[in-house]
Amino acid sequence: MSADFSRDFDLPDAPATARLGAALAPLLAAGDLILLRGDLGVGKTALARALIGAHLAAHGLAEDVPSPTFTLVQTYESPALLIAHVDLYRVENTEELRELGLAEIVDEGVAIVEWPERGGSGLLHLSASRLDIALSLVPEGGRCARLTGSGSWAARLKGLTI
């Protein structure tokens, strides 16, 4: 197994966040777990929307990508991949997490998870192919994204440009 690999990206504005999502979209593979971390309002949902939208567009599809804050899970299917956008902000215990079927989602496709810290340590073991994205605001304005790839994501990150 390869070692983790990290990269930082400056995201000075919303279009830069969209470019990062678009750059990640062709790298998705079944079995991936993408964890989006950061404070409220830092851009987790915007990044997930851009990533999902770019993946769908690459297959000639267009769908509204709403925040799954209230539904907890939104799924999207292309000819290549099933993608689940998951928001754990309102999850209060691990039983609720099991009911969401995240293990099955990762077995079949890709899970993009906002607020993964609410899922406990078990979430980290759903896939060896994991991409952690930590978003933070920077004093100069905009955001910074630290991407850390585990498993096959370590190699995929090395050539990533936005």
pLDDT in tens, 92-143: 777 777 777 788 888 889 999 999 988 877 776 777 789 999 999 998 888 9
Closest listed residue to residue 87, CA positions, set 70, 104, 105, 63 = 70
pLDDT at position 1 is 45
Q: What's the rounded Cα separation, in Å, for the pair 68 and 85?
A: 7
pLDDT in tens, 39-96: 998 999 999 999 999 999 999 999 888 788 778 889 999 999 999 999 988 887 777 7
Side chain identity at residue 139, one-letter code: P
Residue 105 C-alpha from the chain's centroid: 13
Residues whose CB falls within 8 Å of the CB of residue 160, separated by 6 or more in sequence, listed in order: 7, 23, 24, 27, 147
- 14-145 is classed CATH 3.60.15.10: no
pLDDT, tens digit (0-9, with 9 covering 90-100), for 5-40: 999 999 999 999 999 999 999 999 999 999 999 999
The domains of the chain are located at 14-145
For residue 71, give every residue at least 6 positions away whose Cβ sits within 8 Å of its Cβ, in sequence order, or none: none
